[in-house]
């Protein structure tokens, strides 16, 4: 049973409007006594300044709130109110102490170290090194508190997807990372900052920190992205992109020929289950079909596949992920120099941008399989970067940079058609170009148009080839775009974005960074802001919007967040060169900043040393071996029924497959009889819960013989899927299968 002290500190009870008083009343009496003592002290010191007067006001309010809790006054019995008053009273008392009495050498030395300030006296260096280890007391304190609190706190911390300010400080891994990072920062400042203020450091501390962050994150990302990449593809999008690339490399066309279609075309059953998820109905009698996704990413993916074979299909996306990380850091330098603005700590802002992008869970999840999102992100960023580079070069070669930017814009559109709305910020970028004449701006605009136009026309021709209408896109989901979906889509994406391992802890820094950049570089801020608004405008009406659809905005969000962190550090540095009170505030600001970054990042930091995360369409090495085993266990002309592994069976096992769950029992029976009449063996792979009714009906009507248990990807509840490959008996056998 929890003690009164444990119940008193339970974070989940802090906002309870009427918590039971129970045996905690002595603690509230003690709290009332503290407030009463503070009130009496403030009365005695009332003539010595406003700090003491404010202390009296806060203590009086805390005393009233504590009494309200003791007497169960409605709405005022929330336990949080007196605790907040206590914290505020302690801060005011500390402020009074700092403003009234000088600090000694030793406490002052400790504070300067924590505020990342140089230590002048040689005799204080030993104490300074010890002071640099003080941040490690925070994780030790959290560990002690979590031992004292009920075990339920552990479950609350682990289950806390959205950032909760009352739970998050008790997150021990975040506390450990915060303490370690702050300690290394303090010790690093002691090494880099000279004791004599007249000397200049051999390497600027911000550049040294930026270099360490950038090198570390690139090595970490390479270990994760490349080391845990998929060994194959399954499901819908990942498989379809890989299959299109294979077809482009083999036949020169992204269209795929389903060779089973002619055999079943006249069987009197629906055609859709004969093609894999993500493909439209065949365009001709031979079974040629197109996917519902644009061909841009497969066209790029086909090049490394043609040069280096199948492993390149799975290595290209991770390598592009590393390129995106490096590109995001370089883009920060372009932004900082686009208007000639003097922005401090640009190198650190670039490194933090790279760190935030590389450790985004959504970013990582889309890199382990060959998805198109990161490639669209890269070319969108490159299109803006070419325009900003034209800004920096003034009147020199605007047409050349416009052409390069137009090609990148066209590729971004060819990969994801929603990137068409990048035309709005590109137009603003051309219009706001500084120190250029109207003629130079027109040359830049013409360059963008000439670079993008051939790719746009090629896509329109592809639309006409598929549907006979140039304005008809590949996807049949146009009906999902409606203004009525904006509110729901915004709420859904915001809930995903505000997870604590994405932007939930960082959004104040994001807003601060956007404001900070807008004041110092208004033109480029307008371009970046319009980029965010334009892409949100085209995506929010989409009824099935997910956070990954907005991945092209992540480098800009990381950029704004990094500048927000730089703004905090710059202000902390300004405070730290003043009195001791300013140094304490600076140290607290740096600590909170480090904690926010650590709490957001630590869930993904250990990923390179954990088993691979099974993202949608991911195939592990063992699962890839299982698909190879399918090829060894079945005849070359065999037909296999499955769910979302139908494409993987086609690509990885070289076996034709169908999706019987989308047929009725009678239609599936017709397919079995038709295939058996053609002398082809039929199998069922239990890889998803949707196949359960099919297995039951097929076993009852034809009979099923287990062939092998295979470690294939499963779609649905794994406990309800056997992963067994069954052979369907011939119609005349009619053997009953029992589970």
The confidence band for 427, taking pLDDT boundaries of 50, 70 and 90, is very high
Q: What is the pTM of this model?
A: 0.85
Of 365, 359, 375, which Cα lies nearest the Cα of 300? Answer: 375
Find the Cα–Cα–Cα–Cα dihedral 501, 505, 510, 512, rounded to 10°.
-160
Q: What is the structure's pLDDT at 51?
A: 64
CA dihedral for 216, 221, 223, 224, sign (positive or negative): positive
The confidence band for 330, taking pLDDT boundaries of 50, 70 and 90, is very high
- Least confident range from 198-207, 488-497, 571-580: namely 198-207
User: What's the average model confidence in pLDDT over 399-416?
Assistant: 96
Give the H or E element holding residue 708. Answer: strand 704-709
Q: What is the structure's pLDDT at 735?
A: 47
Strand boundaries in 506-644, DSSP class E:
639-641
Q: Which residues pair with 656 in a beta bridge?
A: 639
- In a 3-state reduction of DSSP, which class is residue 291? strand
| Distance of alpha carbon 345 from alpha carbon 510, whole angstroms | 17
Residue 219 has pLDDT above 70, yes or no: yes
Tally of CB atoms within 10 A around 419: 25
Q: What is the structure's pLDDT at 356?
A: 97
Q: Which residues pair with 727 in a beta bridge?
A: 683, 705
Order the strands of the 682-685 sheet from edge to edge. Answer: 656-658, 639-641, 682-685, 724-728, 704-709
Q: CB of 702 within 8 A of CB of 676?
A: no
Residue 728 has pLDDT above 50, yes or no: yes
* 608-609-614 Cα angle (round to 5): 65
The confidence band for 1, taking pLDDT boundaries of 50, 70 and 90, is very low
* Residue labelled with tokens 């989940």: 12
Concatenating the DSSP letter of every residue in 124-144 gives GHHHHHHHTTGGGHHHHHHHH
Count Cβ neighbours within 10 Å for each residue of 361-374 and write b for 16 or more, e otherwise.
bbbbbbbbbbbbbb
More confident residue, 95 or 497: 497
User: What's the average model confidence in pLDDT over 335-357?
Assistant: 87
Q: Provide φ and ψ at 157, rounded to 5°.
A: -65, -45
| Distance of alpha carbon 119 from alpha carbon 109, whole angstroms | 7
More confident residue, 633 or 58: 633
Q: CB of 210 within 8 A of CB of 350?
A: yes
pLDDT 10s digits, 653-702: 999 999 999 999 999 999 999 999 999 999 999 999 999 999 999 999 99
More confident residue, 21 or 110: 110
57: left (phi over 0), alpha (psi -120 to 50) or beta: alpha
More confident residue, 342 or 416: 416
Of 534, 531, 577, 538, which Cα lies nearest the Cα of 555? Answer: 531
Residue 557 has pLDDT above 90, yes or no: yes
User: What's the average model confidence in pLDDT over 32-46?
Assistant: 76
Q: Provide φ and ψ at 239, rounded to 5°.
A: -65, -45
Strand bridging mode 656-658 / 639-641: parallel
User: What's the average model confidence in pLDDT over 709-714?
Assistant: 96
- Least confident range from 95-104, 129-138, 366-375: namely 95-104
Strand bridging mode 682-685 / 724-728: antiparallel
User: What's the average model confidence in pLDDT over 399-413?
Assistant: 96
Q: What is the structure's pLDDT at 739?
A: 39
* 42-43-48 Cα angle (round to 5): 70
- 537 token code pair: 């405008």
User: What's the average model confidence in pLDDT over 447-474?
Assistant: 92
Concatenating the DSSP letter of every residue in 213-257 gives HHHHHHHHHHHHHHHT--SSB-TTHHHHHHHHHHHHHHHSSS-EE
Cβ burial of 472 (10 Å; 0-12, 13-18, 19+) is middle
Non-local (6+) Cβ contacts of 168 within 8 A are 157, 160, 174, 500, 505, 599
pLDDT 10s digits, 138-183: 888 877 776 666 555 555 555 555 556 667 777 888 888 998 888 8
User: What's the average model confidence in pLDDT over 627-641?
Assistant: 97
Q: What is the structure's pLDDT at 368?
A: 94
Provide long-range contacts, Cβ within 8 A and 24+ apart, for 105-108: 108/580
706: left (phi over 0), alpha (psi -120 to 50) or beta: beta
Mean of pLDDT over the chain? 86
Q: What is the structure's pLDDT at 374?
A: 96
Q: What is the structure's pLDDT at 93?
A: 72
| Distance of alpha carbon 501 from alpha carbon 505, whole angstroms | 8
Q: What is the structure's pLDDT at 501?
A: 86
Q: CB of 288 within 8 A of CB of 257?
A: yes
Count Cβ neighbours within 10 Å for each residue of 605-624 and write b for 16 or more, e otherwise.
eebbeeebeebbbbbbeebb
Cβ burial of 326 (10 Å; 0-12, 13-18, 19+) is middle
Tally of CB atoms within 10 A around 5: 13
Residue 83 has pLDDT above 80, yes or no: no
The confidence band for 74, taking pLDDT boundaries of 50, 70 and 90, is low
pLDDT 10s digits, 253-307: 999 999 999 999 999 999 999 999 999 999 999 999 999 999 999 999 999 999 9
The confidence band for 447, taking pLDDT boundaries of 50, 70 and 90, is very high
């Amino acid at each position: 049973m929890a003690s009164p002290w444990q119940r008193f500190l339970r974070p989940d009870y802090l906002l309870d409007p009427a918590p039971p008083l129970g045996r905690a009343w002595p603690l509230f009496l003690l709290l009332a006594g503290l407030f009463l003592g503070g009130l009496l002290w403030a009365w005695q010191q009332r003539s010595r300044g406003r700090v003491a007067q404010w202390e009296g006001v806060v203590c009086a309010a805390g005393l009233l709130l504590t009494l309200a809790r003791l007497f169960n006054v409605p709405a005022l019995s929330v336990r949080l109110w007196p605790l907040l008053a206590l914290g505020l009273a302690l801060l005011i008392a500390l402020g009074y102490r700092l403003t009234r009495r000088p600090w000694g050498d030793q406490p002052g030395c400790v504070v300067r170290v924590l505020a990342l300030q140089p230590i002048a006296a040689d005799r204080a260096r030993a104490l300074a090194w010890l002071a640099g280890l003080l941040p490690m007391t925070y994780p030790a304190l959290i560990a002690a508190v979590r031992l004292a609190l009920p075990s339920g706190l552990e479950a609350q911390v682990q289950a806390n997807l959205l950032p909760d300010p009352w739970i998050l400080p008790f997150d021990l891994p975040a506390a450990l990372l915060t303490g370690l990072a702050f300690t290394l920062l303090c010790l690093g400042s002691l090494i880099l900052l000279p004791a004599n203020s007249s000397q200049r450091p051999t390497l600027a501390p911000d550049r040294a920190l930026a270099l360490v962050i950038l090198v570390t994150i690139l090595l970490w990302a390479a270990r994760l992205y490349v080391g845990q990449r998929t060994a194959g593809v399954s499901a819908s999008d990942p498989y379809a992109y890989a299959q299109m690339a294979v077809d482009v490399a083999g036949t020169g066309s992204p269209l795929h020929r389903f060779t089973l279609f002619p055999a079943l075309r006249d069987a009197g059953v629906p055609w859709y289950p004969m093609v894999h998820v993500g493909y439209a109905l065949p365009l001709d009698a031979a079974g040629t079909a197109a996917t519902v996704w644009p061909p841009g990413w497969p066209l790029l993916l086909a090049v490394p596949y043609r040069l280096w074979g199948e492993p390149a299909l799975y290595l290209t996306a991770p390598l592009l992920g590393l390129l995106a990380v490096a590109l995001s850091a370089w883009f920060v330098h372009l932004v900082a120099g686009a208007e000639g603005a003097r922005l401090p700590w640009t190198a650190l802002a670039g490194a933090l941008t790279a760190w935030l992008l590389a450790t985004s869970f959504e970013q990582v999840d889309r890199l382990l399989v060959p998805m198109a999102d990161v490639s669209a992100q890269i070319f969108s960023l490159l299109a803006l970067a070419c325009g900003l580079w034209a800004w920096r070069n003034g009147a020199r070669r605007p047409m050349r940079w416009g052409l390069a930017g137009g090609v990148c814009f066209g590729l971004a559109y060819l990969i994801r058609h929603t990137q068409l709305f990048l035309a709005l910020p590109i137009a603003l970028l051309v219009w706001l170009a500084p120190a250029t004449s109207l003629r130079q701006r027109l040359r830049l605009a013409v360059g963008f148009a000439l670079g993008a136009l051939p790719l746009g026309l090629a896509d329109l021709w592809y639309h006409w080839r598929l549907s006979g209408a140039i304005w008809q896109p590949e996807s049949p989901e146009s009906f999902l775009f409606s203004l009525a979906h904006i509110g729901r889509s915004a709420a859904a994406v915001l809930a995903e974005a505000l997870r604590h391992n994405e932007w939930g802890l960082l959004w104040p820094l994001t807003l601060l960074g956007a404001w900070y950049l807008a004041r110092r570089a208004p033109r480029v801020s307008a371009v970046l802001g319009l980029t965010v608004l334009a892409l949100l405008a085209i995506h929010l009406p989409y009824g099935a919007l997910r956070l990954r659809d907005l991945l092209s905005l992540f480098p800009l969000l990381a950029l704004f967040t990094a500048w927000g962190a730089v703004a905090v550090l710059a202000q902390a540095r300004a405070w730290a060169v003043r009195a001791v009170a300013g140094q304490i505030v600076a140290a607290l600001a740096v600590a909170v900043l480090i904690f926010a970054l650590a709490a957001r990042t630590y869930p993904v930091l250990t990923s390179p040393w954990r088993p691979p995360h099974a993202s949608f369409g991911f195939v592990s090495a063992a699962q890839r071996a299982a698909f190879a085993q399918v090829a060894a266990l079945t005849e070359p002309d065999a037909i296999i029924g499955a769910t979302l592994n139908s494409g993987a069976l086609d690509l990885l096992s070289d076996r034709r497959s169908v999706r019987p769950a989308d047929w009725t029992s009678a239609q599936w029976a017709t397919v079995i009889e038709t295939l058996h009449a053609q002398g082809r063996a039929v199998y069922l792979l239990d890889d998803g819960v949707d196949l359960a009714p099919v297995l039951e009906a097929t076993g009852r009507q034809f009979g099923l013989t287990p062939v092998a248990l295979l470690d294939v990807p499963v779609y649905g509840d794994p406990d309800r899927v056997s992963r067994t490959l069954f052979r369907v008996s011939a119609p005349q056998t009619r053997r009953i299968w029992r589970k």
